[in-house]
């Protein structure tokens, strides 16, 4: 979005319906045409090509789209996935020790093999996969590739009311607390939709949130429980 609202119906105006040369905007909702007299939002005034890499995120901005690429690779995540792979793999190799039971080995093998395959696939995805976020004036779309993972997510840009980053406790001890960060969207119909999860740290999550909000012209408002 442009950050410019219609003077009649107060709906946000899409970028492609604004002429930066003549400062004329057209609203397709009420067919109003008006001249922009206030200062243009910085992101609209400086609209153009931009490519950079910050907080482990590759960003590419064009006049009508914003694209992020977030690599999955994390040494910590690889080690966490390797633990069940090693444990269950050991159970399979040691299965002969319980062969005196008639049915137990079968269930042990099946369960352990399933855990091993899931952990192995998770490690391969962590090694090669990238999550891509594409934002335009019309939609926000999230895909994971090259290996299949969760189904892709798509939201209408007009339906996104606010973005926020809630912290999630993963470990709590007397010495320290461990958090996992994700980016969520609050929609105009009251739904809370997780856009990105298992992000590296708070800075990466907040960076993604702010870039998307700036591009869509969403004024950042505090959501209860959000990371500051």
pLDDT below 50 — which residues of the chain?
1, 45-46, 100-102
Q: Note the CATH number of domain 51-70+135-216.
A: 2.30.29
Of the candidates 70, 65, 29, which has an alpha carbon nearest to the alpha carbon of residue 50?
Answer: 65
- C-alpha distances (whole Å) from 115 to each of 80, 84, 107, 125 are 13, 7, 12, 15
- Supply the pLDDT for residue 126: 92
| Residues, the chain | 228
Any idea where the domains of the chain sit in the sequence? 1-47, 51-70+135-216, 75-127
Contact 2, 41 (CB under 8 A): yes
CB atoms within 10 A of CB 35: 10
State pLDDT tens for residues 128-160.
Answer: 999 999 998 889 999 999 999 877 899 999 899
- Give pLDDT, residue 33: 77
pLDDT of residue 43: 53
Q: DSSP letters along the chain, please?
A: --S-B-TTT-PBPPGGGEETTTTEEE-TTT--EEE--SPPPHHHHT-S-EEEEETTEEEEEETTEEEEEEE---HHHHHHHHHHHHHHHHHHHTGGGGTTSSSHHHHHHHHHHHHHHHHHHHHHHHHH-EEEEEEESSEEEEEEESS--SPPEEEEGGGEEEEE--EEEEEE-SS-EEEEEEEEEEETTS-EEEEEEEES-HHHHHHHHHHHHHHHTPPP---TT---
Alpha-carbon torsion (45, 50, 57, 121), positive or negative: positive
- State residue 1's pLDDT score: 47
CB atoms within 10 A of CB 223: 16
Predicted structure pTM score: 0.71
Instruction: Give just the sign of the alpha carbon dihedral 54, 57, 58, 60.
Output: negative
């Amino acid at each position: 979005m442009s950050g410019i609202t219609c003077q009649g119906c107060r709906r946000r105006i899409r970028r492609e319906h604004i002429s930066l040369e003549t400062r004329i905007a057209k609203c397709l909702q009420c067919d109003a045409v008006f001249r922009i007299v206030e200062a243009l939002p910085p992101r609209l005034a400086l609209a153009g090509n931009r490519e950079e890499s910050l907080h482990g995120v590759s960003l590419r901005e064009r006049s009508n789209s914003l694209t992020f690429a977030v690599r999955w690779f994390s040494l910590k995540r690889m080690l966490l996935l390797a633990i069940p792979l090693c444990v269950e793999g050991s159970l399979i190799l040691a299965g002969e020790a319980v062969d005196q039971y008639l049915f137990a080995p079968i269930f042990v093998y099946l369960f352990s093999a399933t855990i091993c395959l899931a952990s192995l696939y998770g490690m391969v995805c962590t090694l090669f996969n990238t999550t891509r976020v594409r934002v335009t004036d019309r939609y926000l779309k999230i895909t994971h590739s090259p290996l299949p993972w969760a189904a892709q997510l798509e939201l209408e840009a007009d339906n996104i009311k606010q973005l926020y980053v809630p912290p999630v406790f993963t470990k709590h001890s007397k010495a320290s607390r461990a958090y996992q960060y994700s980016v969520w969207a609050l929609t105009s119909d009251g739904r809370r939709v997780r856009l990105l999860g298992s992000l590296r740290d708070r800075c990466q999550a907040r960076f993604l949130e702010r870039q998307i909000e700036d591009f869509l012209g969403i004024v950042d408002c505090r959501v209860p429980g959000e990371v500051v």
